[in-house]
């Protein structure tokens, strides 16, 4: 009976023999390479143990030559290698806080990669990271993803984690670390309850504008001198329905006040990545997002006032500049908005976010199209 064939990437029994001429030990074994051919390899040593140790080290190195990791690595090792394989090029930022254009790789964007990394670090590794890759099965994935939904919340995390976990397992399959179909693909659909978008009422918009307009203006307040940046940001959010990153990326050169109606060109967005400096990205979420928006009178007032007040150190030429002359960051606006609403003792402030203004404008415009009505607060809101 012929000798049984070794699995690809495996080696056979190690034998050792002392060479009488040199006095050294020679350890040998068969190794079946990734091309399917079995060859004999040898290593020498001054003792039998040293020769065998050198040979085993050589065999393990040959396993890695084709990019293979250990035969059954833990999931967190595979996740790390997958992240490296899809990582986007480093983003360079100039002194003004703008992204320096680089050749497109056709891959994912930096903020998407950061989101994937965060999901692995926060959710996937703590729950599944120590499991060997071949211990990951459909029931394990299904239980993990459903555990992310608690009290009717967490559907977004579960959906994104499913996407990331599926790609990690696809990477494992492509690199011969997992045999069989992708176990995540067979996870049952994660049904998300349909929710009606919540928009803010006219009265709530009025109260929000009063809250941000009077924030930190009371006597006896400590800290930096208060400014009207937060109030102006809120007005532009209400008047444009744009995303917070798009509003904070507006530059003075994007403003057109030459006609009867003021206009703003939305051409970029701010990116706050997990590692490294924040920057203005010179394109939006997709091409259809680039647009010129006519704005109501109260937004025109903000544009005129801020254009005249732009300081010399406004290196970015931003509509909303920081004290150091760069772009104001969305995380700072969100934090200040929460503080202002808390200080005003408003109720249900958790629903009042920068994105809530975007939903509100969409609802108002939909009402205008269907009923021919537009709430006065959007056209000429009462000044706080």
The two tokens of residue 226 are 């208060």
How far apart are the C-alpha atoms of 251 and 265, rounded to whole Å?
9
140: Cβ–Cβ under 8 A, 6 or more apart, which residues?
128, 131, 183
**Whole-angstrom Cα distance, residue 300 to residue 287?**
26
Give the residue from 264, 270, 265 showing the smallest Cα distance to 285: 270
* DSSP for residue 98: B
Q: Which residues contact 167 (CB under 8 A, 6 or more apart)?
A: 82, 86
User: Which long-range CB contacts under 8 A does 160-167 form with residues at least 24 apart?
Assistant: 160/115, 160/119, 161/119, 161/123, 161/124, 162/187, 162/190, 164/116, 164/119, 164/120, 164/124, 165/124, 165/128, 165/141, 167/82, 167/86
Give the other-Cβ count within 10 Å of 238's Cβ: 23
CB 234 within 8 A of CB 209: yes
CB 24 within 8 A of CB 3: no
- Residue (of 326, 330, 305) closest to 317 by Cα position: 326
pLDDT value, residue 382: 41
Task: Identify the burial level of 142 via C-beta atoms within 10 angstroms of its C-beta, where 0-12 means exposed, 13-18 middle and 19 or more buried.
Answer: middle
pTM (2 d.p.): 0.65
Supply φ then ψ for residue 4, to 5 degrees.
-65, 145
Inter-residue contact 309 to 252 (CB < 8 Å): no
Tokens at residue 236, please? 């532009």
DSSP E strands, 214-326 = 255-256, 263-266, 269-271, 279-281, 291-294
Instruction: Burial-class residue 237 by CB neighbours within 10 Å (0-12, 13-18, 19+).
Output: buried
* Residue 117 backbone phi and psi in degrees, to 5: -60, -45
Burial of 12 (0-12, 13-18, 19+ CB in 10 A): middle
Q: What is the mean pLDDT of each run of 10 residues along the chain (384 residues)?
A: 71 90 90 83 93 90 59 88 83 77 61 89 94 91 93 87 94 84 88 69 84 71 65 90 90 90 88 77 72 88 92 90 87 89 83 83 55 43 43
């Amino acid at each position: 009976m012929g000798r049984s064939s070794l699995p690809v990437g495996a080696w056979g029994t190690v034998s050792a023999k002392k060479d009488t001429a040199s006095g050294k030990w020679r350890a040998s074994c068969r190794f079946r390479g990734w091309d399917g051919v079995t060859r004999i390899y040898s290593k020498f040593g001054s003792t039998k143990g040293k020769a065998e140790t050198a040979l085993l080290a050589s065999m393990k190195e040959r396993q890695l030559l084709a990019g293979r990791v250990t035969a059954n690595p833990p999931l967190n090792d595979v996740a790390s290698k997958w992240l490296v394989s899809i990582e986007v090029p480093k983003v360079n930022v100039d002194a003004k806080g703008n992204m320096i254009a680089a050749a497109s790789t056709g891959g994912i964007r930096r903020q998407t990669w950061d989101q994937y990394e965060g999901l692995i670090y926060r959710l996937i590794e703590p729950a599944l990271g120590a499991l060997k890759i071949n211990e990951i099965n459909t029931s394990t994935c299904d239980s993990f993803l459903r555990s992310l939904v608690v009290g009717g919340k967490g559907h977004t995390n579960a959906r994104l984690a499913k996407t990331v976990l599926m790609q990690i397992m696809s990477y494992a399959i492509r690199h011969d670390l997992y045999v069989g179909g992708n176990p995540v693909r067979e996870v049952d659909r994660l049904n998300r309850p349909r929710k009606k978008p919540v928009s803010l009422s006219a009265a709530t918009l009025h109260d929000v504008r009063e809250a941000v307009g009077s924030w930190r203006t009371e006597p006896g307040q400590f800290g930096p001198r208060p400014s009207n940046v937060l109030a102006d940001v809120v007005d532009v959010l209400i008047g444009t329905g744009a995303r917070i990153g798009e509003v904070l990326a507006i530059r003075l050169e994007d403003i057109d006040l030459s006609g009867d109606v003021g206009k703003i060109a939305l051409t970029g967005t701010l990116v706050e990545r997990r590692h490294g400096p924040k920057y203005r990205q010179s394109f939006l979420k997709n091409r259809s997002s680039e647009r010129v928006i006519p704005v109501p009178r109260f937004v025109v007032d903000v544009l005129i006032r801020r254009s005249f007040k732009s300081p010399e150190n406004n290196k970015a030429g931003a509509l909303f500049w920081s004290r150091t002359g760069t772009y104001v960051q969305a995380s700072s606006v969100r934090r200040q908005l929460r503080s202002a609403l808390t200080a005003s003792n408003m109720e249900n402030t958790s629903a009042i976010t920068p994105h809530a203004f975007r939903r509100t404008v969409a609802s108002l415009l939909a009402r205008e199209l269907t009923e021919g009505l537009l709430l006065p607060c959007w056209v000429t809101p009462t000044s706080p």
